Amino acid sequence: MLIDSSPSPTSLDATLILAEHESGSIKAQTVSTVVAANHLGESSSVSLLLAGSGSSLQEAASQAASCHPSVSEVLVADSDRFEYPLAEPWAKLVDFVRQQRDYSHILASSSSFGKNILPRVAALLDVSPVTDVVKILGSNEFIRPIYAGNALCRVRYTGAGPCVLTIRTTSFPVTPITESKKATISQIDLSKFKEDAVSRSRYVGQSTQDTERPDLGSARVVITGGRALKSVENFKMIEKLAEKLGGAVGATRAAVDAGYVPNDLQVGQTGKIVAPELYMAFGVSGAIQHLAGIKDSKVIVAVNKDADAPIFQVADYGLVGDLFEVIPELLEKLPEKK
Amino acid sequence: MKILVAVKRVVDYAVKIRVKPDKTGVDTQNVKMSMNPFCEIALEEALRIKEAGFAKEVVAVSIGPPQCVDTLRTGLAMGADRGIHVEANSSFLPLTIAKILKSLADVENPGLIFLGKQAIDDDCNQTGQMVAALLGWPQATFASKVVVLDKDKQFATVDREVDGGLETLSVDLPAVITTDLRLNQPRYATLPNIMKAKSKPIKKMTLEDLKVDIKSDIEIVEVTEPPKRKSGVIVSSVDELIDKLKNEAHVV
């Protein structure tokens, strides 16, 4: 159902970013999205939209106000209905906010949150979104990967409504912030915000890994294992090596399907996209779909018994050998993490 | 309850694609085409729900050129009851596809619409979410694990693959569900079913029939190959590898 069928003229250079937060702070991918917004145009104002409930939301808002000098405003929607990021109330919220003020661009990161919600927002606004943007060439021209990253598509948005984008955050790294600036924080008046009483979704629960290891999407080092690891027990070798190098653990689809590791470790076209300084793949053959997730890594190392494995065609350094011998040797000989 | 499943004909997942020299797109002439793997999973889930007694009919729909009928026949061979082919020659943006599916839903009144989470050609991951928005229905995207329907068919419980792991939602029906890789293993069409599929109906429809306007607010400027990585070297020992990583690449 369209909320507003006639698009009001959008003001120039005002960007709304759907922010993600956890335990009282803004997630790294939201800051990357702010960096991306800077590429849209010079005098862009950037507003962060945070929704949730209670004290952790307000803490996150406070932290968001100084997370990047480009942020001019933090909008806060504090209500129980936003306790979990469900697409239906969130999309309605974005449209509600947009009706108070026009935005030329509406952005989110290409996380499962952004991918779930932003296309719904776009359809409510009757605009075509551009998803998984890796390069911004101007306020309405973008590059996005297609065919598992084997081709790049340069597109131009020519519509009248806001330009809706999801950003691949590995393409917009955050550089250390030297300037400190605090944006204004405004609580959104939700008294007129109405949601459908019928036709809803409800959060039931989640199972997430509690780990001290760095987040896959932003880790400097990623160590990945394939199905050749053969068991959950053997995968611990990958974890040990990741720990030694201060890295995150990744896995191929085959390893996840085989049950060696949980799904959130999957790297690839439909899993996580990573771009670490060092990517090491053990027992990974190098299927097109896996390579899609690692192409922007600075250095790729592959260890595989099969000299013809496709992974060797993208690896900077390849070692043809048995991972069950190589990993212990690496553990023994590698210097401790910096 | 009726289940509508949208299936897309795409370049087969194993094909090594080539960008056309004139940069207008990817070369799809004489290239193997198949049902999008995520769409196969979507169809499989719909069939399982029907086989469990929660739905009466599974309808497969495909939008595109005449060859889409082949994709629909595969779907019918897997077990869909009937097919709908919406004729379209050019390649439509997801928003137009979503509007077509919305119009079809208005006619067919399904209790569930299943789509693959993304097509492996454009990798957009948009259509399911947009269909849900246009219909005002709840959405459960990136579904993994089994979808369990309540006995009175009022809602479905869905596990979703999200960045942090798995999330469980309960969605009121009618709803839109997009499928992720691990939801199921699609069945192969058996020869008897392929033969049976030949007599299952495929209805042809046009955009005019469905009163849908084409939305063209995105232009493709050009399609290019990504930058190639410099070719690497094969090292002969762990010692050599560590040496290179330390002294050449400076990553350890």
**Which pLDDT score, from 0 to 100, does residue A2 have?**
46
Determine the pLDDT at residue A197.
60
Scanning B30-59 for CB atoms below 8 A from A yields none
Q: What is the pLDDT of residue A178?
A: 79
Contacts with B, A 288-317, CB within 8 Å: 288-289, 295, 298-301, 312-317
Nearest residue, CB atoms, B123 vs list A199, A269, A333 = A269
Please report the ipTM that was assigned to this predicted complex: 0.95
A130, A153, A245: best to mutate for the B interface, most B CBs within 10 A: A153
Task: Give the model's pLDDT for residue A3.
Answer: 47
* Chain B CB within 8 Å of residue A35 CB: no
The answer to whether residue B11 neighbours chain A at the CB level (below 8 Å) is yes
Show pLDDT as tens, one digit a residue, over chain A (338 residues).
444 444 444 446 899 999 999 989 999 999 999 999 999 987 679 999 999 998 999 999 999 999 999 999 999 999 998 999 999 999 999 999 999 999 999 999 999 999 999 999 999 999 999 999 999 999 999 999 999 999 999 999 999 999 999 999 999 999 888 788 899 999 999 998 987 665 699 999 998 876 777 889 889 999 999 999 999 999 999 999 999 999 999 999 999 999 999 999 999 998 999 999 999 999 999 999 999 999 999 999 999 999 999 999 999 999 999 999 999 999 999 987 65
Write down the pLDDT at residue A337: 64
Burial A233-256 (b: 16+ CB within 10 A, else e): ebbebbbbbbebbebbbbbbbbbb
Q: Is B13 at the interface with chain A, CB within 8 A?
A: yes
Per residue, the 3-state secondary structure of chain A, as one string, reads CCCCCCCCCCCCCEEEEECCEECCEECHHHHHHHHHHCCCCCCCEEEEEEEECCHHHHHHHHHHCCCCCCEEEEEEEECHHHCCCCHHHHHHHHHHHHHHCCCCEEEEECCHHHHHHHHHHHHHCCCCCEEEECEECCCCEEEEEEHHHCEEEEEEECCCCCEEEEECHHHCCCCCCCCCCCCEEEECCCCCCCCCCCCCEEEEEEEECCCCCCCHHHCCEEEEECHHHCCHHHHHHHHHHHHHHCCEEEECHHHHHCCCCCHHHEECCCCECCCCCEEEEECCCCCHHHHCCCCCCCEEEEEECCCCCHHHHCCCEEEECCHHHHHHHHHHHCCCCC
What tens-digit pLDDT sequence spans chain B (252 residues)? 999 999 999 999 999 999 999 999 999 999 999 999 999 999 999 999 999 999 999 999 999 999 999 999 999 999 999 999 999 876 799 999 999 999 999 999 999 999 999 999 999 999 999 999 999 999 999 999 867 777 677 899 999 999 989 999 999 999 999 999 999 999 998 889 999 999 999 999 999 999 999 989 999 999 999 998 888 999 999 999 999 999 999 998
Q: Quick one: pLDDT at residue B147?
A: 77
Q: Is the CB of B125 less than 8 angstroms away from the CB of A115?
A: yes
Q: What is the mean pLDDT of chain A?
A: 92
Could B226 and A334 be called an inter-chain contact, meaning their C-beta atoms sit closer than 8 Å?
no
Write out pLDDT tens, residues A156-215.
999 999 999 999 999 999 988 878 889 999 999 999 898 766 569 999 999 887 677 788
How far lies A26's CA from each of A59, A67, A217, A272, B59, in Å? 9, 8, 15, 20, 43
Which residues 202-241 on chain B approach chain A with CB closer than 8 angstroms?
215-226, 229-239, 241
> In 3D, which of A241, A269, A149 has the Cα closest to residue B26?
A149
List of chain B residues whose C-beta atoms are within 8 Å of the C-beta of residue A327: none
Most A CBs within 10 Å, among B126, B157, B170, B173, to test the A interface: B126
Q: Do A126 and B215 touch (CB under 8 A)?
A: yes
The 3-state secondary structure of chain B, one letter per residue: CEEEEECCEEECCCCCCCECCCCCCECCCCCCEEECHHHHHHHHHHHHHHHCCCCCEEEEEEEECCCHHHHHHHHHHHCCCEEEEEECCCCCCHHHHHHHHHHHHHHHCCCEEEEECCCCCCCCCCHHHHHHHHHCCCEEEEEEEEEEECCCCCEEEEEEEECCEEEEEEEECCEEEEECHHHCCCCCCCHHHHHHHCCCCEEEECHHHHCCCCCCCEEEEEEECCCCCCCCEEECCHHHHHHHHHHHCCCC
Q: Does A83 touch chain B (CB under 8 A)?
A: no
